[in-house]
Chain A
């Protein structure tokens, strides 16, 4: 399965990608997402699932069933937009609370066996060079922490550049 997380308005998304996505779960912003409350309940109370049971409470499980994760996000200060970051914050049950040493640094142990390809598209009219550098380092860091198979990051000024593109 592929997972596509994006922060585009529904009408823009439909216009850009009118073709249907096969075997792809699409996570979009319907305005109902709750933020992570830092309780670690997804590790010690209901392991593997967020204790907040809104539509985004099973992000960890969705990530575990993926071979590819695609993100389309506005670039905010070299990171994701608030909605996309919210989805990722709510997905930490994908990893295990225990630590392992990877690349001589402390990271979280894996809960699941799958390794996905991580593909990120950042859009924005005014992304500075500095922000691009931060974003590239961020995707690399995410890829190490989530123990991804591979990662890539691309920048576009306007989402219209993605029209008709095969993701």
Chain B
């Protein structure tokens, strides 16, 4: 199967979406799957990118939640893709989407998944499944934790279920995974992280509260 991994993060490196796709790749990589990778961190797609995507059996999008929805740069790209795909009648192409957000509760990503499913309907593609990931702020720190253990237990379980469905090319209900980590500790760690970041930029803790 030809699978396209589409990273919808605006970041060029160290993105949570990129990390999620790396982990997914490890679960899909064995066998006869050919995975091609794309970064939609641009306002417009090239004709070459679009032509390549039409040759794929499966599109896998991974992106961060922005203001309860799809980041605008990715939205511009999928609007462009809709125009292309709806003229092709390619209901054999399956779409899976992975959305992560800084909020602890995975269900806050639900509307972004609904929008992706609505995009599939408008584009004539087939919706496979969505994976909503809460606590995205801690994802990059899971790299050194053993798979299936501790704070990454729920993440690995959800990703493994999604990978199985991608391999079978089936449509299933969306999956919602909260971190295997207490919410209060996640909140405190996040706030500590912001204080560290503001100080690293030569500012003071109270500058986080600046009003214009």
Contacts and interface: CB of A to CB of B under 8 A. Distances in A.
A binds B: yes
A53 interface: no
Nearest to B114: A134
Contacts of B115: 76-79, 134
Given A49-B212, A77-B118, A77-B122, A82 B64 contact: no
B212 A88 contact: no
Question: What range describes how many residues of B lie at the interface?
Answer: 35 or more
A131 B118 contact: yes
A111 interface: yes
Interface stretch (A9-17, A20-28, A34-42): A34-42
Interface string A121-159: 000000010110010011001100100000000000000
B158 interface: no
B111 A78 contact: yes
Contacts of B198: 43-44, 47
A35 B73 contact: yes
Interface in B56-83: 64, 66-73, 75-76, 78-79
A61 interface: yes
Contacts of B15: 38
Given A38-B15, A130-B121, A82 B203 contact: no
Contact of A96 (B104, B197, B209): B209
B148 interface: no
Interface in A43-59: 43-45, 47-49, 58
Interface residues of A, number: 47
Contacts of B210: 47-48
A36 B72 contact: yes
Contact of B209 (A83, A111, A138): A111
Nearest to A134: B114
Nearest to A34: B43
B208 A141 contact: no
Interface in B189-206: 190-191, 194, 197-198, 200-201, 203
A142 B66 CA distance: 11
Contact of B72 (A35, A43, A78): A35
Given A44-B198, A77-B116, A78-B114, A89 B211 contact: no
A99 B201 contact: no
Interface string A92-135: 10001111000001110001100000000000000010110010
18 contacts: A38-B9, A43-B208, A44-B208, A45-B201, A49-B212, A76-B79, A77-B115, A77-B116, A80-B69, A85-B69, A85-B71, A91-B67, A97-B191, A97-B194, A107-B103, A112-B211, A137-B114, A138-B69
